[in-house]
Structure 1
């Protein structure tokens, strides 16, 4: 009976994602203290008794927890009975990749799990796409934090960040949005500071996100020096040129090498304890599905309760599952029922 109820929750959740109503509902705005900062967050509260608490961790998107796709996810989780806490991670939304991202996630988990207003059991579960999915997995390996988590669901997470960056730099056919974010973060190690160039990269990312066809990049690009325009164009279109700079980044070592290691989930795999659902698009054009397969194999090897779902129903880190291919529907339902079975409080 319990399995059937989790299947129904999974079905209702997936059907909720088909709703295009992305208007922000009547949520309570709360604050979450982290080291040297305060995070804003939206609190979604179910109408009836809560089945548990899920924290949703936004990806590398400027609107963060209020990205229309994320609002739909939060509403759907709340509708099936979960309390949802969705913080706004400003650094992540500003495309800044750093170790502070992990610390902010850990601090927010610690705070939320200790508030009786948000959870009755002192535990939460995590739902996170892409880059933030990997960060959440790393945060959950902390000895104190993993005691406060029931389950984790990641969408399009990676195991080895260096492999993902190399693939994005080397393959022109892969996603330009992710590539530009990585260039923005790691290119200064190779070329030093160049304010106009990095402004151009930032605007290219924003235009890609908003699908605005270079509305903001164009004027800035035309104001740049010719040599900076050429540098931008080569970074955008020249695979060999990008790979040259990637090799420079790796060879320079120092903080970049530490960061690359620190952002790779595979480095923490021996500390993993929490039931984990890994969902990945088979045609993901940023992080190949082999990354989730790698993590799944390592988790199973260590006898960690886990489930893998590689599907054609989503693209990279997508939270909107198309249900047009009905043949995969039972597999997706089964995957999320695993997550909800572990995310539901045993003693609410």
Structure 2
């Protein structure tokens, strides 16, 4: 069939429209990526400010970010840190996602702000999801990904989760805790004492709980402590302390198996590895290759379990991130060719995926 000259010219506007749409999408993804990395000017100039309001549901404060065109709801679960939903990085990312078309809901979980991670958080996340009132996506960071992914697997909401995104999360918290407790002495080695203090509530006696918290605070800050402080603990409290004092992975597992059963139950109840078969949502899994807090192997194992269970998923490992913050080398010819160019394409690919599933 021969195409006439008129038909050729008629196709030009369609072609130009497609080119413009492609360029617009490319710019949107690039500007979104820049704002996520801490360079907001381009996206702010294009999309303007978003509306920000705070509501409360079931005693949980929820920040809602809405842009001019809110197409798709997204629930973001913050990590275990004192700033919670008010983390400057999280606020910037929430604004950016609202600017490109998400309506973003960011709840504040009090216990997670106190650096206490408990199985009950999954029910709180589920409650916020149900408050949104329609199909939504769930995104999470760091240790917040445990309860977030468990909530996404809940039978009451799992068929309504459009996708689940985990950045720097864990899959099995026993393995993660083993890494933190027995890993090399680094600037984040104090975390094991944070976890000891957070789990001191598992000990029956209140005096023991207070002594464990005091001991954890002193060891975490490397400040002096009474030499006989551990000896004042009950056998139950000593068994808990012994777990967090293990020096090798084998020692950790032995002490955990011999330690308080309620700790083992808590760890299992906080591990997505125990719930992955119940997940239904497509997964977007992202992790910094050199993460010093939660090993990238955790997300690799999550991806392997997703594949084994027939879940749709993508896995992106980034050299440009440590834990959940960028780690960028000095710009030079070598780093430009070996790091910045390939990492830019890798990062833009995952940002484009987040926009595409909106």
User: Normalised by the size of structure 1, how large is the TM-score?
Assistant: 0.78
SS in 2 for 1:15: helix
1:87-102 aligned at under 5 Å gives the runs: 87-102=107-122
Instruction: Give the Cα–Cα distance (whole angstroms) in 2 for the partners of residues 167 and 244 of structure 1.
Output: 12
Instruction: Provide closer, same or farther for how the CA distance between residues 203 and 40 of structure 1 changes in structure 2, counting only shifts above 3 A.
Output: farther
Alignment-derived partner of residue 50 in structure 1? 70
Instruction: Give the Cα–Cα distance (whole angstroms) in 2 for the partners of residues 148 and 9 of structure 1.
Output: 27
Instruction: Give the Cα–Cα distance (whole angstroms) in 2 for the partners of residues 242 and 181 of structure 1.
Output: 19
Contact map agreement 2:159 2:280 (CA 8 A) in 1:
no
* Cα offset, 1:56, TM superposition: 1.3
Matching of residue 18 in structure 1 with residue 37 in structure 2? yes
Contact map agreement 1:69 1:320 (CA 8 A) in 2:
no
Contact map agreement 1:156 1:280 (CA 8 A) in 2:
yes
Specify which of 158, 177, 180 is matched with residue 168 of structure 1: 180
Contact map agreement 1:131 1:158 (CA 8 A) in 2:
yes
* Cα offset, 1:65, TM superposition: 0.3
Alignment-derived partner of residue 300 in structure 2? 293
1:1-348 aligned at under 5 Å gives the runs: 8-19=27-38, 27-33=52-58, 38-46=59-67, 48-112=68-132, 114=133, 122-174=134-186, 175-186=188-199, 193-199=208-214, 201-202=216-217, 221=223, 225-228=226-229, 240=247, 247-316=254-323, 318-320=324-326, 325-342=340-357, 344=358
Alignment-derived partner of residue 117 in structure 1? none
Larger radius of gyration: 2
Encode CA deviations 1:178-214: one digit per residue, 9 max, x unaligned: 3233222346668972525414635887xxxxxxxxx
Larger relative contact order (Cα-Cα within 8 Å, sequence gap ≥ 6) = 1
Unaligned runs of 5+ in 1: 115-121, 206-216
* Cα offset, 1:161, TM superposition: 1.1
User: Normalised by the size of structure 2, how large is the TM-score?
Assistant: 0.76
* Cα offset, 1:254, TM superposition: 2.4
Contact map agreement 1:126 1:136 (CA 8 A) in 2:
yes
Encode CA deviations 1:296-343: one digit per residue, 9 max, x unaligned: 112122231110011111111x1557596232111121123223322x
Contact map agreement 1:279 1:310 (CA 8 A) in 2:
yes
Unaligned runs of 5+ in 2: 1-17, 41-48, 233-240, 332-339
Instruction: Give the Cα–Cα distance (whole angstroms) in 1 for the partners of residues 30 and 198 of structure 2.
Output: 39
SS in 2 for 1:111: helix
SS in 1 for 2:228: helix
Instruction: Give the Cα–Cα distance (whole angstroms) in 1 for the partners of residues 89 and 53 of structure 2.
Output: 19
SS in 1 for 2:299: helix
Aligned residues: 311
SS in 2 for 1:240: coil
Instruction: Give the Cα–Cα distance (whole angstroms) in 2 for the partners of residues 190 and 240 of structure 1.
Output: 22
Instruction: Give the Cα–Cα distance (whole angstroms) in 2 for the partners of residues 85 and 319 of structure 1.
Output: 21
Encode CA deviations 1:262-290: one digit per residue, 9 max, x unaligned: 22211111111111111101111121111
SS in 2 for 1:176: coil
Superposed CA RMSD in Å reads 3.4
